[in-house]
Amino acid sequence: MKKTDLIAPEQYNIVSEIEQYAEQADKKTLIYHDDEGHQTTVTYAELIAGANQYGHVFKAHGLKKGDKLLILMPRSIETYYLYIAALKLGVIVIPGSEMLRTKDLQYRIQHGEVTAVASVDVGAEQFERVDGIDHVTKFIIGQPRDQWIDLTGEAQDQSTELETIPTHRDDVAFLPYTSGTTGNPKAVIHTHGWGYAHLQMAPKHWLCIEEDDLVWATAAPGWQKWVWSPFLSIMGKGATAFIYNGRFNAETYLKLLQDNHINVLCCTPTEYRIMSKLENLTDYDLSHLHSAVSAGEPLNREVIDQFRDNFNLSVRDGYGQTESTLLIGFLKETELRPGAMGKAIPGSETCVVDDDGNPVPPNTVGNIAVPLDLPALFHGYYKDPERTKAPQRGDYYITGDQAYMDEDGYFWFDGRKDDIIISSGYTIGPFEVEDSLIKHPDVKECAVVASPHELRGNIVKAFIIPQDGVARDDATVKKLQNYVKQDVAPYKYPRAIEFVDDLPKTNSGKIRRVELRDLEQRRYDEQHRS
């Protein structure tokens, strides 16, 4: 596939990819399962009809093309209605997580110049203390609330037909916010044309979604991964989305996969890691799965081995960003190489460059990069030209992650540029140490970061969640340190280990190492202040 194959028709709206399947009256699009075991099925025709009714309510209250709608919703059928309705009207969607609080919402509403918000009833209270909220149109889903428009109630009497407003491929569709290591969150500009490019890449080549597959992508609304997989990848391919709105539990997940005959699974490395630690994996039948993928951060070899040995299932890694789409991954036909990230997704032209934007030779660590003219790349950060320009090097956008590419085109992850640990002159990628630790039966989860040190500059420190019943003592520390020394180069072993009950994570499940690094820096500064 060429880069030109990723360019959308000039007049294009993402919803057209979904709406085409509504012509088949009984074609299923959603199977919703709550944590009490209740299940609801929705067809494509019903989905579009419901979205059209929401769209009429939006129009009646003044929403028009180019307006921005902040959506704060859980995993639900209504969330799909909202996204489709907004996109059909040319309204720009700002995804919002249920975890957002007043301060977060305040920034998004002001910075994003938000016209309207749509929230589930239990999240509406977070908006009440937002300055200027009285000037924003407020829609509520669920229990009615004073000064909020009852979207659910008003939609019932609306027409199920709604004309799509003409949109250009360069018209903005999504404005997701993503946090960097410093400063306020950045608003990523994605167009309708980006959606077209995404559909040519991720669901086709990596997820391997076939029409009528039952697909479970566990990402929650509020971040771009939900737009990637549960929304566009599934519905743009005419498949059926399985939605589970309940807390993660390894046994529950495996039973749902088994009982619902799920065909494609996309979940976080953390979810795979915890499932792989169960001792009774062979009690579950996952024979209906023909595709299982993981994204967010590299998946440990031990986890991949567990799924292969117990289910004859290859869990395939994928790599991408909020700013792009899937860029690197193991496709079904790609030979697995333990520890590698996979190969560049066809059409992405992903490569490794130096700090000046020049491609580097094989087996040379550099920056993971894509061409600036990639149709699946964002159109900049909203109202932030400086941060838009910062990752540009020559003709490339650099992702901030480092890797090397071998002679066969496989990428090997080295870590985020700001995650790299330099200790006594050695350069150490945290993932290799984490990969070693997670293989040990005493370790449930871990994160490795640089900890400041007077003599060595930094040392390798591991924050570890131990398995239940494992002693959090010096003997366990020594055991784990000796294990890593034997498994990887001895200079990489964690000189410090701290046992913790949890690790800081994004709402997508990615470990926020920056928080742990900052913690270590503060501790060091306090210790040396006295």
Question: Mean per-residue pLDDT for 137-157?
Answer: 96
Task: Classify 416 as helix, strand or coil.
Answer: strand
pLDDT digits (tens, 9 = 90+) for 465-500: 999 999 999 999 999 999 998 888 788 899 999 999
Task: Indicate the SS3 state at residue 460.
Answer: strand
- Which range scores top for mean pLDDT: 125-134, 222-231, 250-259? 250-259
**Section 316-340 average pLDDT:** 90
From 104-118, 214-228, 422-436, the region with the lowest mean pLDDT:
422-436
* Dist. CA 316–CA 306, nearest whole Å: 13
Closest C-alpha among 359, 334, 330 to residue 342: 330
The residues, any chain, with a CB within 8 Å of residue 201's CB and separated by 6 or more, are 6, 325, 326, 345, 346, 347, 348, 376
Give the pLDDT confidence score for residue 250 in this predicted structure.
Answer: 94
Question: What's residue 508's pLDDT?
Answer: 63
Mean pLDDT is lowest, of 71-75, 210-214, 373-377, 411-415, for: 411-415
Question: For the segment 162-192, what is each residue's pLDDT rounded down to a tens digit?
Answer: 999 999 999 999 999 986 545 678 999 999 9
The answer to whether residues 405 and 380 touch, using CB atoms and an 8 Å cutoff, is: no
Q: Are strands 186-187 and 177-178 parallel, antiparallel or unpaired?
A: antiparallel
Percent pLDDT > 90 in the chain is 75
> Exposed e or buried b for every residue in 75-111, given b needs 16+ CB within 10 A?
bbbbbbbbbbbbbbbbbbbbbbbbebeeebbbbbbeb
- Integer Cα distance of 439 and 302 in angstroms: 5
What local confidence, expressed as pLDDT, does residue 87 receive?
A: 98
Give pLDDT tens digits for 43-101. 999 999 999 999 999 999 999 999 999 999 999 999 999 999 999 999 999 999 887 88
Q: Among 164, 137, 142, which Cα is nearest to 63's?
A: 137
pLDDT value of position 189: 98
User: Are 198 and 190 contacting, i.e. CB atoms less than 8 angstroms apart?
Assistant: no
Q: How far, in Å, are 3, 329, 488, 526 from residue 200 at the CA level?
A: 10, 14, 39, 51
For residues 448 and 460, the answer to whether their CB atoms sit within 8 Å is yes
Comparing CA positions, the residue from 406, 445, 400, 423 lying closest to residue 489 is 423
Query: How high is the pLDDT of residue 425?
Result: 61
Q: Give the count of beta carbons closer than 10 Å to the beta carbon of residue 321.
A: 19
Which pLDDT value is given to residue 29?
Answer: 97
Residue 409: CB partners within 8 Å, gap ≥ 6?
343, 344
| Cα gap 496→500, rounded to integer Å | 13
- As a residue count, the chain comes to 530
For the chain, the average pLDDT equals 92
| Spatial CA neighbour of 184 closest among 119, 106, 71 | 106
- How far, in Å, CA of 78 to CA of 50, rounded? 8
Rama region for 315: left / alpha / beta (φ>0; ψ in -120 to 50; rest): beta
Residue 530 confidence (pLDDT):
57
Query: Domains in the chain, start-ordered, CATH in brackets?
Result: 3-405 (3.40.50.12780), 418-529 (3.30.300.30)
The whole-number pLDDT of residue 284 equals 97
Residue 138 to residues 31, 117, 127: CA-CA distances in angstroms? 28, 5, 9
- Above 90 in pLDDT, residue 193? yes
Query: Under 8 Å CB-to-CB from 305, ≥6 apart: which residues?
Result: 338
> Model confidence over 85-136: pLDDT tens digits?
999 999 999 999 887 888 889 999 999 999 999 999 998 999 998 999 999 9
- Per DSSP, the residues of 285-304 read --TT-SEEEEESSPPPHHHH
Q: Two tokens at 266?
A: 């996309």
Q: What is the pLDDT of residues 510-527, one digit of tens each?
A: 788 889 999 999 999 888
The CA distances from residue 461 to 255, 266, 414, 445, 476, in Å, are: 36, 30, 17, 14, 15
How many whole angstroms separate alpha carbon 210 and alpha carbon 99?
A: 33
Strand partners, 267: 294
CA-based torsion, 192, 193, 195, 199: positive or negative: positive
Of 261, 259, 268, 206, whose CA–CA distance to 237 is shortest?
Answer: 206
Compute CA distances 452 → 68, 481, 482, 495, whole Å: 44, 19, 22, 12
Q: What is the pLDDT of residue 101?
A: 82
Q: How far apart are CA 473 and CA 241, in angstroms?
A: 45
CB atoms within 10 A of CB 438: 21
Residue type, 201: M
Region 241-265: mean pLDDT is 96
Per-residue pLDDT at 487: 83
Q: Does the pLDDT at position 228 exceed 90?
A: yes
